[in-house]
Amino acid sequence: MNQNRAYEIAFVGLRPGLHELEYRIEDKFFADFGPQDFSHCDTTVKLKLDKKQGFLQLHFDVDGTIDALCDRCGNPITVQLWDEFNLIVKLVDDPITMNSQEEDPDIFYIDKGESHFSIANWIFEFINLSIPLQHICKENEKGESTCNQKVLETLKKFKTNQIEINNKNIWKGLEKFKGLDDPKEATNN
């Protein structure tokens, strides 16, 4: 409850013009959003809010780090987050209809009669969008992968075994077609 309050913008009371706000986002922020694929979030979200006549212009700057697992070997690594996002919040009479018809994902409508709105969902979304799609262990000075080699070896073996098992299964399935062709011969080519 209190947590949500911290991310509410009481825009009615704000004077027109630019306002700068800063939010420190740590793991506890994500408690309301369920389990995440990362931990040790240490991120600052800076919000520049420009209050204009009938709308608000929002600019979010995400800067920080999270700990995630390497996509390749599963070792824990620290991932740098850095991105920025723009939104426009328009004050209108019928926000539900307007939001359902708006095609621009960066434009939101809220009721003219509202006095505040929460930016918690946006912060959540923007932090997630700031996480690089692929994150793997860094290379060392020699340009070599610092991935956990033991894990990579095991994965390789596992994959080879899987392929062998799959191949066996394929031939098992094809056995009923025996008499048409001998599939085993075909693979030996």
**Closest approach of Zn ion to the CB of residue 71, in Å:** 7
**Closest approach of Zn ion to the CB of residue 129, in Å:** 23
68 part of the interface to Zn ion, by CB under 5 A: no
Which segment (46-54, 56-64, 67-75, 79-87) binds Zn ion by CB under 5 A? 67-75
CA 180 to centroid of chain Cα atoms: 51
If the CB atoms of residues 36 and 148 are measured against Zn ion, the closer one turns out to be 148
Which segment (27-35, 73-81, 82-90, 112-120) binds Zn ion by CB under 5 A? 73-81
Query: Which CA distances in Å does 98 have to 49, 103, 104, 131?
Result: 22, 10, 11, 30
174 part of the interface to Zn ion, by CB under 5 A: no
If the CB atoms of residues 9 and 147 are measured against Zn ion, the closer one turns out to be 147
**Site track for Zn ion across 133-162, x = CB under 5 A:** ----x---------x---------------
- Give the Cα separation of 45 and 34 in Å (integer): 20
Q: How many CB atoms lie within 10 A of CB 94?
A: 12
Given the structure tokens 């020699």, which residue do they identify? 142
3-state SS assignment for residue 33? helix
Which segment (8-16, 64-72, 93-101, 105-113) binds Zn ion by CB under 5 A? 64-72
Phi and psi, residue 73, nearest 5°: -115, -10
The single residue among 72, 88, 99, 102 that binds Zn ion, judged by CB under 5 A, is: 72
**Closest approach of Zn ion to the CB of residue 48, in Å:** 36
Q: Where are the alpha helices (DSSP H) in 75-148?
A: 95-101, 120-130
Which one, of 142, 37, 121, 140, lies nearest residue 79 by Cα? 37
Using the 8-state DSSP alphabet, how is residue 139 labeled? B
Residues 74-103 that bind Zn ion (CB under 5 A): 75
Size, binding site for Zn ion by CB under 5 A: 6
Please give the residue ranges that form the binding site for Zn ion (CB under 5 A): 70, 72-73, 75, 137, 147
